[in-house]
Amino acid sequence: MDSKNKFSGMTVLLHWTVGLTILCLLGVGIYMAENEVDALYPIHKSFGVLIFPVILLRAIWRFKNGWPVAVTTYSKIEQIVAKVVHWLLLTLTILMPVTGMMFSGASGHGFGIFSWQIVPSNPSLTKPGEVDAFNPFAAHWGHELHEIFGYVLLAAICLHVVGVLKHKLIDKDASLARMLGKNVE
Ligand code: HEM
Ligand code: HEM
């Protein structure tokens, strides 16, 4: 379990595994959607599906463990901003794969983990080379929300990293060291 002086190996492992994978998925997602790089779609979807159980495990672990206690005392406003950003990060990391699967599944494009299909594609019988949506409503909202949540998550991560830099460079406290697994007694 986590203590004020030291985070458990599980907390550190889950933070960095999920954090770094999310950063890569955001980067690849925006790049492939902007430039229509078809070859990247199956890779993005596969890693997005693979990381989903790890994200759920992380959320369960966080609620069983409670939120981290700050290493020193901060102003009230700073504590509130940190709490809001941590909640946003945790919630949006769950909503991103959910909306991604909703969009890809309902739109008829399908998804899976590399060659293992979980929801198959639905090739159109009337328009060669295209797909027919299983559920146009779910496909539309899955797509919209995946994009909106993606940009809100990106903004939350930027705020998070600014906060970490403030702790490191201005407060010169041990927040980062603790998330790197060190005992900060
Ligand atoms: C934590 C997981 C994920 C993150 C952070 C993420 C992030 C993103 C981002 C930021 C975009 C660009 C949005 C845009 O500009 O339209 C994107 C696009 C996309 N994502 Fe994800 N994604 C994740 C998981 C998934 C999953 C699990 C699937 C499907 C199984 C998926 C399917 C797609 C598709 C099909 C697009 C392209 C949308 C388009 O062409 O407009 N994503 N993703
Ligand atoms: C370079 C990138 C990152 C750095 C340097 C970093 C660093 C940190 C640090 C030092 C803490 C501990 C804060 C405290 O003691 O109160 C923390 C907590 C947290 N980080 Fe990050 N982080 C990064 C990226 C991310 C990303 C991409 C996500 C999610 C998508 C994320 C999600 C969280 C969450 C939810 C917490 C709250 C504590 C927990 O649930 O484990 N971080 N981060």
Q: Which ligand is nearest to the CA of 102?
A: 1
Q: Is residue 4 part of a domain?
A: no
Say how many CA atoms lie within 13 Å of 181 toward its Cβ: 7
Domain hosting 148: range is 9-179
Q: Is residue 51 part of a domain?
A: yes
pLDDT in tens, 167-183: 999 999 999 999 999 99
Any atom of ligand 1 within 6 Å of the Cβ of 58: no
Predicted pLDDT at 185: 80
Q: Is residue 36 part of a domain?
A: yes
Q: Is residue 1 part of a domain?
A: no
Any atom of ligand 1 within 6 Å of the Cβ of 167: no
Q: Which ligand is nearest to the CA of 58?
A: 2
Predicted pLDDT at 73: 87
Q: Is residue 185 part of a domain?
A: no
Q: Which ligand is nearest to the CA of 161?
A: 2
pLDDT in tens, 70-120: 888 889 999 999 999 999 999 999 999 999 999 999 999 999 999 999 999
Judge whether 171 and 40 are in contact, CB under 8 Å. no
Residue 185: count of CB within 10 angstroms of its CB = 8
Report which residue type is found at 78.
Answer: E
CATH of the domain at 56: 1.20.950
Q: Is residue 143 part of a domain?
A: yes
Q: Is residue 159 part of a domain?
A: yes
Ligand 1 centroid – CA 183 distance (Å)? 37
Average pLDDT (35-63) is 97
DSSP letter, residue 14: H
Ligand 2 centroid – CA 157 distance (Å)? 8
Predicted pLDDT at 172: 94
What's the pTM? 0.95
Q: Is residue 155 part of a domain?
A: yes
Any atom of ligand 1 within 6 Å of the Cβ of 95: no
Domain count, the chain: 1
